[in-house]
């Protein structure tokens, strides 16, 4: 970084998806932006690597292009548990599966093009309300954005600590050289955790195994825990080495303190089971850009709450099924018998239907079930 850049409009700490998207959004609003990250691009991370349709729309709004030959569209979600399978398809939109490094490269390219000053390999170890130390240099800024992930230093410095967090789980990601057999993201359920399978190219899938910290899942567990998936993968070759990371849902009371705002996992996260972490970060970035343009971070605080509401609710609901075999089997059984309900839930999950529409469907299904039970009862 040049010595002359000792003052700027916005300093962003962290150049993962959230930080880069925020940097692009702020530049598109005409602000002078410096971004610092401890790592060097392309930054990789254990992830299910599925971007939901709202995330795809946000990427488009930010002008980020994902190369078609390094990604794969998916059109819905399928849950599988032993012999039960239930699936829902998106309506007229699609998600995109892609390696994290592909997403990172695309975001970096767009940030460069937009004129963001990028400082890689420079950890931020100190900051105050108006100044950030990037490497050896102090930079004064009108706004400081913490996009530094789950264990955010900016969050600690700003006194915006977590108000709530779920039970942490552990994820392991592996890329396998095999042509995707479906245009859906598949989630295989077991008592000990889940396997998420996302197509990430025409000849490659990403398998993310997520389970409890006491007994983290490994690829060698797949044939035993998820036999149908094991069959599919018996001849598949790993495309690179596996990568692990913790996943957890966290919630903060506030994501703004004075001129400091948090974004992405630093600002509260949703368990990997939702597949929403990237999408919420990209949507938050657009809301943050709008709030900066209005000179009012309270707008961002309100938008952030709205963006997180549904994913946080879905995380809680889905985690209820984790480790509760009877509840999971009966829930999947009901969804398999009422596929429209699953599609509605999926639409609400990705913001394409209102929670009220889901409640109406749920009430109809419950009413029908009660009626059928009453009619089936002997005189």
- Decide if 279 contacts 58 (C-beta within 8 A): yes
Q: Least distance to ligand FAD from the beta carbon of 155, Å?
A: 10
Nearer of residues 195 and 341 to ligand FAD, judged by Cβ: 195
- Decide if 280 contacts 308 (C-beta within 8 A): yes
Q: How far is CA 285 from the centre of its chain?
A: 13
What is the DSSP code string of 309-363?
HHHHHHHHHHHHHTT-HHHHHHHHHHHHH-HHHHHHHHHHHTTSS-HHHHHHHHH
Contact region for ligand FAD (CB under 6 A) — 8-16, 135-143, 231-239, 363-371?
Answer: 8-16
- Decide if 144 contacts 262 (C-beta within 8 A): no
* Among residues 48, 180, 268, 289, the one that binds ligand FAD under rule CB under 6 A: 48
Give 269's DSSP letter. Answer: B
Residue with tokens 């495309």: 239
Q: Least distance to ligand FAD from the beta carbon of 371, Å?
A: 39
Binding mask 260-279 for ligand FAD (x = CB under 6 A): ----xxx--x--x--xxxxx
If one asks whether residue 228 binds ligand FAD (CB under 6 A), the answer comes out as no
If one asks whether residue 36 binds ligand FAD (CB under 6 A), the answer comes out as yes
Q: Least distance to ligand FAD from the beta carbon of 238, Å?
A: 17
- The candidate with the shortest Cα–Cα distance to 11, out of 151, 131, 153, is 131
Contacts of ligand FAD in 151-170 (CB under 6 A): 153
Binding mask 53-92 for ligand FAD (x = CB under 6 A): ----------------------------------------
* Among residues 147, 285, 315, 321, the one that binds ligand FAD under rule CB under 6 A: 147
Residue 356, φ and ψ in degrees, nearest 5: -60, -40
Contacts of ligand FAD in 189-218 (CB under 6 A): 208, 210
Distance (Å, whole) CA 269 – CA 272? 9
Tokens of 133: 């130390």
* Among residues 25, 33, 50, 303, the one that binds ligand FAD under rule CB under 6 A: 50
Residue with tokens 């709202």: 54
If one asks whether residue 14 binds ligand FAD (CB under 6 A), the answer comes out as yes
Binding mask 277-296 for ligand FAD (x = CB under 6 A): xxx-x---------------
Nearer of residues 322 and 361 to ligand FAD, judged by Cβ: 322
User: How many other CB atoms sit within 10 Å of the CB of residue 75?
Assistant: 18
- Decide if 200 contacts 49 (C-beta within 8 A): yes
Distance (Å, whole) CA 235 – CA 226? 15
Contacts of ligand FAD in 122-141 (CB under 6 A): 123-124
Q: Least distance to ligand FAD from the beta carbon of 378, Å?
A: 49
Nearer of residues 51 and 341 to ligand FAD, judged by Cβ: 51
How far is residue 94 from each of residues 53, 72, 90, measured CA to CA in Å?
A: 5, 10, 6
Residue numbers at the binding site for ligand FAD (CB under 6 A): 13-19, 36-39, 43, 45-51, 123-124, 147-149, 153, 171, 208, 210, 245, 247, 264-266, 269, 272, 275-279, 281
């Amino acid at each position: 970084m040049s010595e002359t850049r000792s003052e700027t409009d916005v300093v962003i700490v962290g150049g993962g998806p959230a930080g880069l998207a925020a940097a692009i959004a702020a530049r598109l609003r005409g602000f002078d932006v410096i971004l610092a990250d401890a790592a060097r691009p392309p930054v990789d991370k254990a992830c299910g690597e599925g971007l939901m349709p709202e995330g795809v729309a946000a990427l488009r709004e930010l002008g980020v292009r994902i190369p078609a030959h390094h990604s794969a569209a998916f059109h819905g979600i399928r849950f599988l548990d032993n012999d039960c399978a239930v699936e829902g398809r998106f309506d007229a939109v699609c998600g995109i599966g892609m390696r994290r490094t592909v997403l990172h490269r695309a975001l970096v390219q767009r940030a460069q093009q937009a004129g963001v000053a990028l400082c890689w390999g420079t950890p931020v170890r100190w900051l105050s309300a108006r100044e950030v130390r990037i490497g050896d240099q102090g930079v004064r800024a009108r706004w400081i954005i913490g996009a530094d992930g789950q264990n955010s230093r900016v969050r600690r410095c700003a006194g915006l600590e977590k108000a709530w967090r779920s039970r942490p789980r552990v994820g392991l990601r592996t890329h396998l050289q095999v042509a995707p057999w479906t245009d859906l993201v598949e989630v295989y359920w077991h008592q000990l955790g889940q396997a998420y399978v996302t197509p990430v190219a025409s000849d490659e899938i990403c398998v993310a195994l997520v389970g409890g910290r006491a007994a983290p899942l490994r690829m060698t567990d797949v044939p035993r825990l998820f036999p149908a998936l094991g069959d599919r993968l018996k001849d598949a070759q790993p495309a690179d080495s596996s990568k692990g990371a913790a996943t957890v849902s966290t919630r903060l009371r506030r994501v703004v303190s004075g001129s400091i705002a948090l974004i992405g996992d630093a600002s509260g996260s949703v368990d990997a089971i939702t597949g929403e972490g990237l999408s919420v970060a990209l949507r938050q970035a657009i809301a943050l850009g709008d709030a900066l343009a209005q000179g009012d971070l309270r707008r961002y605080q309100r938008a952030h709450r709205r963006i997180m509401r549904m994913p946080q609710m879905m995380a809680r609901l889905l985690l209820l099924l984790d480790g509760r075999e009877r509840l999971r089997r009966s829930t999947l059984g009901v969804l398999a018998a009422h596929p429209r309900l699953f599609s509605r839930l999926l639409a609400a999950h990705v913001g394409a239907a209102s929670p009220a529409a889901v409640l109406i469907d749920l009430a109809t299904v419950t009413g029908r079930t009660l009626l059928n039970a009453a009619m089936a009862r002997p005189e």
